[in-house]
């Protein structure tokens, strides 16, 4: 489906115009809501202080008591990259602060599902903890909290997901999105919330004189920012200024060779040099390898990799994650073929597609349905939920949405208007998960399509590429590409610069089975370009002499030669 082009056109403020920034960067920053040069200062002293995060002080007191009382603590995480980094952060820093009896537990997604369920509490109880600390989950775990407290176990919830109407009755809750929390940044990832809790804990222990009494060095929490950056980018939370500060500091540590062994090992198995990475690499290189463990096996592989204290210990774990990611890609490719064939067999035009897509196949893998939902959403520009058998008569679905449609709210509408249809659900605007009875799939399909249609006012959504406009010929250079790479960090709601233009096609060929390699020309200058994962039934096409393209600037290094390369996000024939 060809997308429309919409240009970002925010005005450059007088304050930004008077700065010494290059004109192109002024325009790009203005397009992302930057009004003054001060907003581009990403020094750590610009972080919002922990005192503004509701519950952080109480959490610090609870954890400080646990450390002083030599309590046994179990950290319960989530099975994605944010959960893995949050778990590793909590365990490693609590150990540095003197808590000797701290371990972690991550639910196997196929056996226990998400969050602090009563079953997970029972599993944690076998370790006889005094305190359970959730990271990146727990805000909806009413039954799990009640079970823990019934066993005499205290509960500290640290989470960032949107709460329901009522909060669990935990001892302490830290979540910037809970009622009455005035923390200015609502976009912290789970790992960011835990970082703030640990920052408050360090201050509390310092005030108590704990470090002097215990003969311990005060931990440098800057050492943990590589984990915070990785989890924040991989969880695709909006990069407001506070998150950009955290990510920029973490990326700087990696580029300077100060990343922990597990992160360095992950870059090594991926064939990437950490000294030249950007924030985008955390999402596209490291994130998928960590997530592969939770999707296919056990996220403890990822957590142990992040906790490794030497490259010798980290390397085999990173290799295992790399191998799992390749296996995940193979599974995903097969599932994509099945899903595309299923939809194409309906022979529906774009205007005939349902407003909301619900896809199921008996062979779909539970751990990969979320990725497939993303791929289908990208191709058909419809909110999409992909289901897999859970093995007990139920189906578990993972959904991805489009801009302008809040997926969790739509599922809430489905559940409200169709009692007993949805067993449980959760998530946020762009992604959500749910469970239904297998026999109710067709009922759900109809209800979901209807709810999406209502939310979109029965107007079929049209894909739109938002770009920064055309790029001047003088800015099509390696120097500009390098400047843009480090001008971020770029990410969700602070997107990497993308441009559009028309080019003459000088050559085109398929490489790597499904990538289109091109030589393009504009303004009498030729450029290398590549479009990944094209439809090989459409490309290459020697009859096409001119294309329109949405692209990013990149530098391709091959055999010691560095050349400008356009990374094409979308292309179409120009008549």
Pick the residue with more confidence: 537 or 243? Answer: 243
Reply yes or no on whether the pLDDT at 506 is more than 60.
yes
Q: 3-state DSSP call for residue 525?
A: strand
The full set of domain ranges for the chain reads 47-321, 346-462, 465-573
Q: Supply 87's token pair.
A: 């778990």
Helix, strand, coil in percent for the chain, rounding step 5: 45, 20, 35
47-321 CATH pick, 3.90.76.10, 3.30.720.110, 3.90.1640.30, 3.10.100.10: 3.90.1640.30
Q: How far apart are CA 438 and CA 545, in angstroms?
A: 50
Q: Per-residue pLDDT averaged across 460-465, rounded? A: 88
Q: Per-residue pLDDT averaged across 298-319, rounded? A: 97
Q: How far apart are CA 17 and CA 30, in angstroms?
A: 10
Q: How far apart are CA 197 and CA 67, in angstroms?
A: 14
Q: How far apart are CA 78 and CA 160, in angstroms?
A: 12
Q: Per-residue pLDDT averaged across 505-522, rounded? A: 95
Reply yes or no on whether the pLDDT at 1 is more than 60.
no
- Within this chain, domains 47-321 and 465-573 share the same CATH topology: no
Confidence of residue 344 (pLDDT cuts 50, 70, 90): confident
Q: What confidence score (pLDDT) does residue 3 get? A: 78
Reply yes or no on whether the pLDDT at 509 is more than 80.
yes
Q: What confidence score (pLDDT) does residue 444 get? A: 98
Q: Per-residue pLDDT averaged across 313-324, rounded? A: 98
Q: What is the pLDDT of residues 15-61, one digit of tens each?
A: 999 999 999 999 999 999 999 999 999 999 999 999 999 999 999 99
289: nearest Cα among 250, 248, 327, 322: 322
Confidence of residue 109 (pLDDT cuts 50, 70, 90): low
Q: Per-residue pLDDT averaged across 130-148, rounded? A: 96
Going from the C-alpha of 333 to that of each of 232, 329, 376, 399, 466, the distances in angstroms are 27, 6, 12, 18, 28
Strand runs (DSSP E) across 439-543, as ranges?
464-467, 499-511, 515-522, 525-531
For 553-556, the CB contacts below 8 A with 24+ separation are 553/471, 553/476, 553/480, 553/481, 553/484, 553/497, 553/499, 554/481, 555/478, 555/481, 555/482, 555/485, 556/528
Q: Per-residue pLDDT averaged across 62-74, rounded? A: 98
Structural domain 465-573, CATH architecture: Beta Barrel (2.40)
Reply yes or no on whether the pLDDT at 113 is more than 80.
no
Q: Per-residue pLDDT averaged across 429-440, rounded? A: 93
Q: Per-residue pLDDT averaged across 340-357, rounded? A: 82
Q: What is the pLDDT of residues 23-35, one digit of tens each?
A: 999 999 999 999 9
Q: How far apart are CA 492 and CA 54, in angstroms?
A: 25
Q: Which fold has domain 346-462?
A: Diaminopimelate Epimerase; Chain A, domain 1 (3.10.310)
Reply yes or no on whether the pLDDT at 111 is more than 80.
no
Q: What confidence score (pLDDT) does residue 429 get? A: 85
Q: What is the pLDDT of residues 248-290, one digit of tens each?
A: 999 999 999 999 999 999 999 999 999 999 999 999 999 999 9
Residue with tokens 């010494």: 20
């Amino acid at each position: 489906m060809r997308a429309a082009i919409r240009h970002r056109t925010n005005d450059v403020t007088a304050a930004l115009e008077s700065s010494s920034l290059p004109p192109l960067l002024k325009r790009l920053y203005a397009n992302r809501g930057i009004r003054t040069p001060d907003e581009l200062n990403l020094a750590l002293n610009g972080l919002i202080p922990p005192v503004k995060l509701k519950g952080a002080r109480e959490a610090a007191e609870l954890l400080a008591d646990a450390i002083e009382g030599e309590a046994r603590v179990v950290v319960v995480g989530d099975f994605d990259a944010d959960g893995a980094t949050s778990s590793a952060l909590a365990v490693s820093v609590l150990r540095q602060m003197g808590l000797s009896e701290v371990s972690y537990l991550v639910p196997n997604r196929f056996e226990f599902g998400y969050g602090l369920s009563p079953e997970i509490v029972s599993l944690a109880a076998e370790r006889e903890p005094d305190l359970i600390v959730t990271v990146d989950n727990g805000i909806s775990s009413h039954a799990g909290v009640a079970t823990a407290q019934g066993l005499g176990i205290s509960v500290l919830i640290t989470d960032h997901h949107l709460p329901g109407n009522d909060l669990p009755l935990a001892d302490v809750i830290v979540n910037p999105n809970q009622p009455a929390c005035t923390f200015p940044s609502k976009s912290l990832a789970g790992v960011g919330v835990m970082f703030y809790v640990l920052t408050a804990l360090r201050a509390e222990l310092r005030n108590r004189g704990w470090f002097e009494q215990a003969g311990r060095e005060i931990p440098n929490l800057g050492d943990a920012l590589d984990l915070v950056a990785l989890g924040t980018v991989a969880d695709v939370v909006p990069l407001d200024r506070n998150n950009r500060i955290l990510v920029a500091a973490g990326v700087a540590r990696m580029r300077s060779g100060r990343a922990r062994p597990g992160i360095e090992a992950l870059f090594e198995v991926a064939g990437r040099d950490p000294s030249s990475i950007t924030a985008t690499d955390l999402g596209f290189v490291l994130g998928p390898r960590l997530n592969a463990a939770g999707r296919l096996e056990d996220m403890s592989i990822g957590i142990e990799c992040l906790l490794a204290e030497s490259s010798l210990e980290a390397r085999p774990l990173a290799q295992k994650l790399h191998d799992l990611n390749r296996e995940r890609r193979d599974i995903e490719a097969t599932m994509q073929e099945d899903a595309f064939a299923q939809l194409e067999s309906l022979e529906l035009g774009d205007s005939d597609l349902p407003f909301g897509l619900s896809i199921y196949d008996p062979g779909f893998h539970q751990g990969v349905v979320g990725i497939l939902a993303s791929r289908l959403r990208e191709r058909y520009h419809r909110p999409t939920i992909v289901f897999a058998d859970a093995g007990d008569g139920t189906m578990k679905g993972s959904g991805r949405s489009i801009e302008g449609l809040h997926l969790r709210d739509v599922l809430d509408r489905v559940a409200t208007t169709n009692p007993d249809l949805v067993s449980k659900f959760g998530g946020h605007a762009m992604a959500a998960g749910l469970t239904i009875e297998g026999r109710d799939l067709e009922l759900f399909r109809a209800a979901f399509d209807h709810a999406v249609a209502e939310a979109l006012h029965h107007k079929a959504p049209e894909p739109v590429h938002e770009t920064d406009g055309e790029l001047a010929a003088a800015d099509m250079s390696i120097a500009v590409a390098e400047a843009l790479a480090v001008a971020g960090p770029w990410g969700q709601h602070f997107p990497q610069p993308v441009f559009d233009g028309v080019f003459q096609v000088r050559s085109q060929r398929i490489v790597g089975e499904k990538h289109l390699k091109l030589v393009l020309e504009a303004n009498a200058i030729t450029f290398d370009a590549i479009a990944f994962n094209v439809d090989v039934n459409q490309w290459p096409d020697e009859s096409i002499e001119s294309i329109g393209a949405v692209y990013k600037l990149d530098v391709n290094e091959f055999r010691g030669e560095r050349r400008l390369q356009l990374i094409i996000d979308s292309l179409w024939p120009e008549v």
